Amino acid sequence: MNRRKLSIIGIAAAAVLAAVIIIGFTVRGSAVSQVSMKEDAVYRSYRVTSNDTLWSISEEYASSCGLEIRDYIRELKTINRLQSDRITDGMNLIIVTCPE
């Protein structure tokens, strides 16, 4: 192939990659929208204690925002960029609450 064709292919590949990245961030952002779309949602800091799990935290706060526990856990993991369900004593998390 000549250089011009390679250049066009490279530009097209870069455009496709950019579109995929933009779509990826848009989809990831929509995961947070379950709660963040609520006008009364409040984000605050939460310090994890030794007995805390994502499940126990979610049991306490999920219903205030009208979410199931599993959905709230997914929300916590997205907001805090957690790759696993593991949290440790002393960790600071951002949690979301919705006043009733």
Would the pTM of this model clear 0.75, i.e. be above it? no
What value, to the nearest 5°, has the Cα angle with vertex 42 and ends 82 and 44?
55
Amino acid at 1: M
Domain definitions of the chain by residue range: 3-97
Predicted local confidence at residue 28, as pLDDT: 46
Predicted local confidence at residue 30, as pLDDT: 44
Closest CA to 92 of 40, 45, 29: 45
Predicted local confidence at residue 32, as pLDDT: 46
H or E element, residue 42 = strand 42-47
- Spans of the chain below 70 pLDDT: 1, 5-6, 10, 12-39, 100
Predicted local confidence at residue 64, as pLDDT: 86
SS3 for 29?
Answer: helix
CA 81 vs. chain centroid, Å, equals: 6
H or E element, residue 44 = strand 42-47
